[in-house]
């Protein structure tokens, strides 16, 4: 069968060369309108995009012959993975192709910001000799804070250590042992903000990272800190940056990414500030990176079309299992369970023990992948899925052990996770009750039922009269409505674990209000 591939967004020419050499007919196009693309997409079996083309459910619905979509790069924000999976379309990316380029660009911005290089170049070209005006600062001996220690963040750390910088970092999934191997001192984000002379971020944009640098956090920031963002727009609150620069809260900013690209008129005006250095999303824009990702994606696509291999696949297992009615509920359970665990587990844990009992034990490997996908998602600066979740976990030093038993216990199928001795809630079990009904059924030996959905509060408390009234009353005072509750008791030791689901998201002030109740401790909150 003769396959046809459509290459969009100016992907490097090596991509087309490799595909043609593999016997695939290639059409290269740039600037296609949505209408033109919809009219012609049904002809193709493969498509390669960068960041300009958005692969929508509508487009995928028209692509009746499409087998694989390849992203020549890391991020797949412009590809609807769920819609691709529903349509049986394999989605691939090239996660390693631009690591070095983005790390080098980050380091370049650090040095350019330190030595005022862009402004000095512009001044001299305009005929001025302003040596004193552009007095810089050495990076040697300074402290670099790195938030996000994945491939790019750890590469930046290694390179700037070679310049003599002291590196401190935060990554909730990197163990202290792994950080020590990199020569990075691990600490909490607030401590990094108070100690770092330079701060670079390499994380996804999440509710936790949005506005990390903002007026709201100004009091936590070491005065004069220099900021670098080659990760995601929105991690620095763009409207706040000029005021923070003018007040001396921060000393300079280097941006390669923006909350909207191209930037809005307001942001373009902001970028005129003399202490803001800016580039138009050039992190992966090197000849080497573009050549690497184009070569990689071409080989991956050709292999996939010929059923020779599926390297770089983001949804391969999802497609294979999407019609398996036996496995599907367990995959959903495991991912939701992992999401909850990521929000109640201590940071930097170095082990996860996962035990399977019942029929789900025969699918333990893929269920662990699904659980890790839920656990890592939202905290890794890449698409996390069944294919790569285990890699991301293990690369951060997380040791994973699995045990299986076909024998049933109280429940016919049970997944139990041991978070290790550092965890305040250590051993937690979950099971499916029916279609779409997934529940936690045990925490540290306390029988309890918590639906894995919505806004969940879990806490320990002394088992005495009035405790439930005290906490429900506290929630009522905060105008927080209870949707459901469950209570597990240890009558001998007069201890209990209580769980509420509530109708609204909670903030830190809400949680602190609950923690102040006499007899309540170890309050945890998870938003699913």
DSSP 85-129: HHTT-EEEE-TTTTHHHHHHHHHHHHHHHHHTHHHHHHHHHTT--
The tokens 């909207």 sit on which residue? 260
The two most distant CA atoms of the chain are separated, in Å, by 84
Question: Which of 43-47, 127-131, 304-308 has the lowest average pLDDT?
Answer: 304-308
Residue 317 in this model has a pLDDT that exceeds 90: no
Q: Render pLDDT for 67-98 as a digit per residue (tens, 0 to 9).
A: 999 999 887 878 998 889 888 899 999 977 88
Beta carbons of 366 and 359 less than 8 angstroms apart: no
Structural domains of the chain sorted by starting position, each given as residue range(s) with its CATH number in brackets: 4-94+288-311 (3.40.50.720), 99-278 (3.40.50.720), 321-527 (3.30.1330.90)
Q: Which of 527, 510, 512, 343 is nearest to 425 (CA)?
A: 343
Using pLDDT thresholds of 50, 70 and 90, give the confidence band for residue 261: confident
Beta carbons of 70 and 48 less than 8 angstroms apart: yes
Q: Which of 526, 459, 523 is nearest to 487 (CA)?
A: 459
The tokens 């009615």 sit on which residue? 325
Residue 250 to residue 244: CA distance in whole angstroms: 6
Q: Which of 129, 122, 168, 130 is nearest to 149 (CA)?
A: 168
Residue 257 to residue 480: CA distance in whole angstroms: 37
DSSP-assigned beta bridge partners for residue 168: 145, 185
Q: Which stretch, 148-152, 204-208, 438-442, has highest mean pLDDT?
A: 438-442
Residue 280 neighbours by CB distance under 10 Å: 12
Beta carbons of 94 and 318 less than 8 angstroms apart: no
Catalytic residues: 232, 261, 281
DSSP, collapsed to helix, strand or coil, labels residue 246 as helix
The tokens 């002379």 sit on which residue? 197
Q: Render pLDDT for 194-206 as a digit per residue (tens, 0 to 9).
A: 999 999 999 888 7
Q: Percentage of the chain surpassing pLDDT 90? A: 73
Using pLDDT thresholds of 50, 70 and 90, give the confidence band for residue 444: very high
């Amino acid at each position: 069968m003769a396959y046809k591939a459509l290459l969009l967004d100016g992907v490097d020419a090596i991509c087309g060369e490799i595909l043609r050499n593999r016997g695939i007919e290639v059409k290269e196009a740039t600037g296609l309108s949505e209408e033109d693309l919809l009219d012609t997409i049904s002809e193709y079996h493969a498509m390669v995009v960068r960041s300009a083309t958005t692969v929508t459910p509508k487009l995928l619905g028209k692509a009746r012959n499409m087998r694989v979509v390849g992203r020549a790069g890391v991020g797949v924000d412009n590809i609807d993975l769920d819609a691709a999976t529903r349509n049986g379309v394999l989605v691939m990316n090239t996660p390693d192709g631009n690591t070095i380029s983005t790390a080098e660009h980050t380091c370049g911005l650090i040095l350019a910001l330190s030595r005022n290089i862009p402004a000095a170049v512009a001044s001299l070209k305009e005929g001025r000799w302003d040596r004193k005006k552009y007095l810089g600062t050495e990076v040697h001996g300074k402290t670099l804070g790195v938030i996000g220690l994945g491939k790019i963040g750890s590469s930046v750390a290694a390179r700037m250590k070679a310049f003599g910088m002291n590196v401190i970092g935060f990554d909730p999934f990197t163990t202290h042992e792994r950080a020590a191997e990199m020569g990075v001192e691990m600490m909490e984000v607030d401590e990094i903000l108070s100690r770092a002379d330079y701060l670079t971020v390499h994380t996804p944009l999440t509710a936790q990272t949005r506005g990390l640098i903002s007026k709201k956090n100004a009091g936590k920031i070491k005065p004069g800190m220099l900021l670098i963002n080659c990760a995601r727009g929105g991690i620095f609150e763009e409207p706040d940056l000029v005021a923070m620069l003018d007040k001396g809260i921060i000393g300079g900013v280097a941006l390669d990414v923006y909350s909207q690209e191209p930037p809005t008129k307001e942001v373009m005006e902001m970028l005129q500030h003399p202490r803001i250095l800016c580039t138009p999303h050039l992190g992966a824009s090197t000849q080497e990176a573009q050549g690497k990702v184009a070569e990689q994606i071409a080989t991956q696509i050709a292999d996939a079309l010929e059923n020779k291999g599926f390297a770089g696949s983001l949804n391969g297992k999802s497609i294979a299992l999407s019609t398996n009615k036996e496995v599907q509920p367990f995959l959903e359970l495991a991912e939701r369970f992992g999401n909850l665990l990521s929000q109640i587990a201590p940071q930097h844990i170095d082990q996860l023990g996962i035990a399977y009992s019942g029929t789900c034990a025969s699918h333990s490997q893929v269920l662990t992948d699904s659980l890790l996908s839920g656990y890592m998602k939202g905290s890794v600066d890449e698409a996390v899925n069944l294919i790569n979740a285990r890699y991301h976990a293990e690369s951060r030093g997380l040791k994973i052990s699995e045990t299986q038993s076909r024998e049933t216990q109280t429940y016919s199928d049970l997944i139990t996770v041991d978070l290790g001795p550092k965890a305040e809630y250590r051993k937690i079990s979950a099971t499916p009750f029916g279609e779409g009904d997934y529940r936690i059924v045990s925490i540290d030996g306390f029988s309890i039922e918590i639906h894995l959905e919505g806004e969940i509060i879990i806490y320990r408390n002394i088992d005495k009269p009035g405790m439930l009234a005290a906490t429900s009353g506290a929630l009522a005072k905060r105008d927080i409505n209870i949707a459901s509750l469950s209570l597990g008791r240890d009558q001998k030791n007069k201890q209990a674990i209580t769980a509420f689901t509530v109708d609204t998201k909670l903030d830190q002030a809400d949680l602190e209000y609950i923690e102040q109740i006499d007899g309540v401790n170890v309050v945890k909150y998870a938003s699913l």
